[in-house]
Structure 1
Amino acid sequence: MINTSGYGDDERRHFLRYTRTQRWPMLGRFPVAAPLHTELLAGMLSCPAGVVEDLIASLDDELRATAAQLLGDETYRRALRALPYRPGERVVAVGDSITADRLGWFELLRASLELDGGDGPTLVNLSVSGDTTADVIERFDLLQAAEPSRVLLLLGTNDARAHGRAGGYRMATTAETGRNLRALRHLITRDLGAEVTTITPTAVDQARVDASFADVPVHWSAAAVAEIAAAVRDADPGAIDLHEVTRTAAPGNLQDDGVHPTVAGQRFILTFLLDRLAAPARHGSGRGAVAPSA
């Protein structure tokens, strides 16, 4: 059991950055009023509800400030406005903590589109921290309920996650990840009639992972994440290869845990993905996207 009674506001803010109880499958299927989510988070963090509200507001403020900074760059604005998303479309992100992040790439994209003004698509983030590809299949009903016209899949980091101090059992083998991604792509295109873009998981820093997780029975191997990224590319040869570009990214793009991107890292991810999403023809025919079958 995790003891949260000794958390300071910095630790609480970090927890809230990656935790949105509204997206938890049970609470997605049986939704409760927003104040109850705040009370739940406050109970988990052993603090008043007002502290939770203030910390979430500070994250929202930072998100909008970061998006405004990005919009100050002309190249970024051009790429943003070149996205092939039409007004009325519903673009849904499905991923783990890297996408669930309140300061993450998809939230920055949403905030950028809002600040840029004009009619645009509706962006829906269904990402849940800790999710594997199998978890997403299990909650496919919630993806269906979101009625997406386009789906962005960025999964795999937690498939490579290993548990146990001695055994180190992975959450999924590379074969299982490949099977799950092929199933998800089939379900999205055939059952939902939506377009899907697959993205490989970000690389991890082995030295930082080893130092950060030395005393806990959970671990990531850079080699295992690379294997999962290869499985993603095998399941979708047109996948956007985020793993390769983050493998040699600046050290400041990763937090001390060696797994989660910093805000600078999330900005890097977004600018890279924007370039691929806005002009896929420059990076190979049909790269990263599959239209629904007739």
Structure 2
Amino acid sequence: MPERPGVAAVADQLQYVHLEKLYGYLPGIADAVPGIFGLTHEEYVAVRDRFDAQARAAAEELVADSVFARRLARLPFEPGARVLAVGDSITDDLQSWAEILRHALARTGPDVTVVNAGLSAHTTAMVLRRWPSLLHPAPDWIVCALGGNDVTRIAGGKPQVALPESVANLRELRRIAAERASVQWVWLTPVPVDEERAGRHPAFRFGSSSWRNADLVALADALAAAVDDPVVDLVSPFGVPADPALQGPDGVHPSLAGQQQIVRSLVARLSP
């Protein structure tokens, strides 16, 4: 049965906007979400299932590579481990690196639970405010991919969060987590963008939002210099500016191939 007109447009929002994460404390929010987007429950489930199927297919493609499969099997996650994926919309994406990793581990990796705690449009400061609640139940591993919204410039002005404050926020996330649980930590650097593609995108033009690769690279370098945990470099594999094949239509959110590249880089860093 064909989709109703407009479902495809709403699907683009549903890929990144998950109100049940933002307002999970509101009674009945999960049941209300389909109607908020103008969808029936069946349409809502079908849209989410389609993204999940694409993430699963991307994982299967990765696992078909024998080198990747061997590295995946050697990941240092203990059986039964809980891995918390922290980030912004690049992580919150229904076909993100976290979702692909979850499916890949379910295929051939250790018995691990991957929890997607990505929060679209969040800066490091915004996640810091929510942080204690995200640590229940306590994870065994945290993979942190924050910072892309910190460097967002509005109307050509300053970044939303200054570089020293971004680094301080990231270190504070690490400190709080260490106080509450015995947790292993991995950092993902910000992903370079396609500035021209982002500059043409209607939503970013409407919001006067822009990104500069110089800001993203500076944050990646500052992060690598400030922490002792493993850091996964995403600047080199994506390139500056980002490889057009690895960036999606808006120039900021990676394509499915880009999300696969993030998983490749993460797995290679943890099990070379």
TM-score (norm 2): 0.89
Distance in 2, matches of 1:142 and 1:182, equals 17
Structure 1 unaligned segments of length 5 or more: list them.
1-5, 280-294
Deviation at 1:61, TM superposition (A): 1.8
Deviation at 1:111, TM superposition (A): 0.8
Deviations 1:13-43 (A, max 9, x none): 221111222321x41xx2645xx42532431
Query: What aligned pairs does 1:2-41 form with structure 2 within 5 A after superposition?
Result: 8-24=6-22, 26-27=23-24, 30=25, 32=27, 36-41=29-34
Deviations 1:195-237 (A, max 9, x none): 1111211011111122223343222122222222222223226
1:75 is paired with a residue whose SS is helix
Deviations 1:25-66 (A, max 9, x none): x41xx2645xx42532431x2232322111111112222222
Answer yes or no: is the 8 Å Cα contact 2:124–2:150 preserved in 1: yes
2:86 is paired with a residue whose SS is strand
Structure 2 counterpart of 1:71, which letter?
V
Distance in 2, matches of 1:263 and 1:79, equals 21
Structure 2 counterpart of 1:197, which letter?
V
1:214 is paired with a residue whose SS is helix
Query: What aligned pairs does 1:205-216 form with structure 2 within 5 A after superposition?
Result: 205-212=194-201, 213-216=204-207
Which residue is 2:166 aligned to? 177
Answer yes or no: is the 8 Å Cα contact 1:189–1:196 preserved in 2: no
Answer yes or no: is the 8 Å Cα contact 1:95–1:126 preserved in 2: yes
Deviations 1:54-112 (A, max 9, x none): 11111122222222222211112111101000112111111011111111111101011
Query: What aligned pairs does 1:146-161 form with structure 2 within 5 A after superposition?
Result: 146-161=137-152
**124-133 vs 55-64, which deviates more?**
55-64
- C-alpha RMSD over aligned residues: 2.1
1:58 to 2:50 alignment: yes
CA pair 154-7 structure 1, distance change in 2 beyond 3 A: farther
Structure 2 counterpart of 1:14, which letter?
D
Distance in 2, matches of 1:41 and 1:274, equals 35
Distance in 1, matches of 2:271 and 2:26, equals 35
1:253 is paired with a residue whose SS is coil
Identity score, percent:
31
Which residue is 1:260 aligned to? 253
Q: Which of residues 151, 167, 185 in structure 2 aligns to 1:196?
A: 185
Distance in 2, matches of 1:243 and 1:7, equals 39
Which residue is 1:287 aligned to? none
Number of equivalenced pairs: 265
Structure 2 unaligned segments of length 5 or more: list them.
none
Deviation at 1:179, TM superposition (A): 0.8
Q: Which of residues 220, 224, 227 in structure 2 aligns to 1:236?
A: 227
Distance in 2, matches of 1:234 and 1:254, equals 26
Distance in 2, matches of 1:32 and 1:215, equals 33
Distance in 1, matches of 2:216 and 2:237, equals 14
Q: Which of residues 62, 65, 87 in structure 2 aligns to 1:70?
A: 62
Structure 1 counterpart of 2:216, which letter?
V
CA pair 63-152 structure 1, distance change in 2 beyond 3 A: same
